[in-house]
Amino acid sequence: MAALSLAVGLRLAAALRGAHGLCGRAVRAAGLLGRGFGSAYAAVSTESLPPTFGFLLDIDGVLVRGHRVIPAALEAFHRLTNAQGQLRVPVVFVTNAGNILQHRKAQELSALLGCKVEPDQVILSHSPMKLFSQYHDKRMLVSGQGPVVENARALGFRNVVTMEEVRTAFPVLDMVDLERRPTATPLLRSDFPAIEGVLLLGEPVRWETSLQLIVDVLLSNGNPGTGLATAPYPHLPVLASNMDLLWMAEAKMPRFGHGTFLLCLEAIYRKMTGKELRYEGLMGKPSLLTYQYAEELIRQQAERRGWTAPIRKLYAVGDNPMSDVYGANLFHQYLQMAERSVRAEQQGAGGLQKQPPSATQSCTSILVCTGVYRPGEPGSGEAPFHGHRDFGCSPGLLQAAHVVNDVHEAMRLAFHEEGWGW
């Protein structure tokens, strides 16, 4: 699956790239910086020049905890905006949340941060599903909670079926909750159009219902009213977003994320069929696709602001080593590989037309201590791997370039690195 995602990602990268300059210097290798890196940065401002760097900001555990804004985020945004209230550099908010509409998330952030956030600055975990247009006209079963149908439609899916519609059409399928079992044997339906794929947008409520019905749809090739002697394999296409096992809200301990739901679904499918559940697309951090999507939104934002210089460096700030740090480092690795491959092709291409590289040269991971990650916890080598099955346990990718207290320190660090006043 990872290879499949990468292939989609590479196609996307090729499709999205504009006329960008060649990559140059390698990013400075940075070890763990530790906490408290000095208070007085040189304030050599280069703000008469357009920015060549931007931020990918995680939301939960970085800017907010539950419904409360983290004070450091207010300070950071106060400094990040100019006298006109505009951002001084391009910023996108990259969250693995998905049970909300994009414009609602933008409104929420605007209210919390006291700074206007546009919907196209917000990347939800499922936003890259817009790119899977081959499924947009298929009849897709959608799983999640909140405005799932509106979200699916906003992503381009024109023919969606909800879990409740399947449950109503086939009332004898959902049998765990005794209170919800049908009291009489209903007539079997034969007029329910076949389902052609499954969208897993985020964690649903009533997991037992969703797990049962999704497995029924996969085992019956989209006709859950029928019983098939042999389950088809490969099964119907499954697109999933947000593979976070855990996330941080107000509670002292992390909460179950959609990754926990996926883990259950994968385990059930494997146990029942002896085969692996396969994803046609798996998105949200740490997927490469999400970072490529974010990079493109950063580029468009800079263009809208009239900043003519290419954005060379991205700083990705997050609280979750498995999604934020792993994803940023994976994207950085990809950028470096893309640069090397283009260089090699240019040297020995024999006149073939090659894609120019992205303007972005590096993506620096910055881990904050206001969310899931707690300093002093066992190192990644000893801790259990919380990543998704399709993403290998690579200790190097879990190592942040910088570890700081909070998002304010993260931004101050980045501005300092870029020689900008903070």
Catalog residues that contact Mg ion under the rule CB under 5 A: 58, 60-61, 319-320
| CB of 322 vs Mg ion, minimal distance in Å | 10
| CB of 178 vs Mg ion, minimal distance in Å | 37
**By C-alpha distance, which of 126, 321, 99, 331 is closest to 204?**
99
Within 13 Å, how many C-alpha atoms sit on residue 399's CB side? 11
d(CA 335, CA 400) in angstroms, rounded, equals 17
| CB of 285 vs Mg ion, minimal distance in Å | 9
* Type of residue at 215: V
Asked whether the bond before 286 is cis by omega within 30 degrees of 0, the reply is yes
Contacts of 216 (CB under 8 A, 6+ apart): 170, 173, 224
Looking at the Cβ atoms of 54 and 61, the one nearer to Mg ion is 61
| CB of 276 vs Mg ion, minimal distance in Å | 28
| CB of 97 vs Mg ion, minimal distance in Å | 9
Looking at the Cβ atoms of 95 and 361, the one nearer to Mg ion is 95
- Judge contact between 359 and 311, C-beta under 8 A: yes
Looking at the Cβ atoms of 58 and 174, the one nearer to Mg ion is 58
- Judge contact between 289 and 12, C-beta under 8 A: yes
Looking at the Cβ atoms of 196 and 324, the one nearer to Mg ion is 324
| CB of 244 vs Mg ion, minimal distance in Å | 8
Looking at the Cβ atoms of 58 and 406, the one nearer to Mg ion is 58
**By C-alpha distance, which of 421, 195, 401 is closest to 316?**
401
Return the structure tokens found at 135. 């499924």
Cα separation values, 366 from 31, 66, 287, 362, 409, Å:
11, 21, 17, 13, 10
Return the structure tokens found at 268. 């059930």
Cα separation values, 100 from 165, 231, 281, 285, Å:
20, 34, 20, 17
| CB of 313 vs Mg ion, minimal distance in Å | 22
> Taking the chain, what is the end-to-end CA distance rounded to the nearest angstrom?
42
Looking at the Cβ atoms of 131 and 243, the one nearer to Mg ion is 243
Alpha helices for 230-273 (secondary structure H): 258-273
**By C-alpha distance, which of 167, 163, 194, 193 is closest to 182?**
167
| Strand positions, DSSP E, 132-201 | 140-143, 160-162, 197-200
| CB of 318 vs Mg ion, minimal distance in Å | 6
| CB of 247 vs Mg ion, minimal distance in Å | 6
* Counts for the chain of helices (H) and strands (E), in that order: 10, 15
Looking at the Cβ atoms of 61 and 259, the one nearer to Mg ion is 61
Looking at the Cβ atoms of 220 and 260, the one nearer to Mg ion is 260
Helix or strand holding residue 329 (H, E): helix 326-348
* Type of residue at 192: F
Residue nearest to Mg ion (CB): 61
> Which position has the token pair 């907010």?
64
Looking at the Cβ atoms of 174 and 324, the one nearer to Mg ion is 324
> Which position has the token pair 């389902």?
195
Looking at the Cβ atoms of 16 and 249, the one nearer to Mg ion is 249
| CB of 250 vs Mg ion, minimal distance in Å | 14
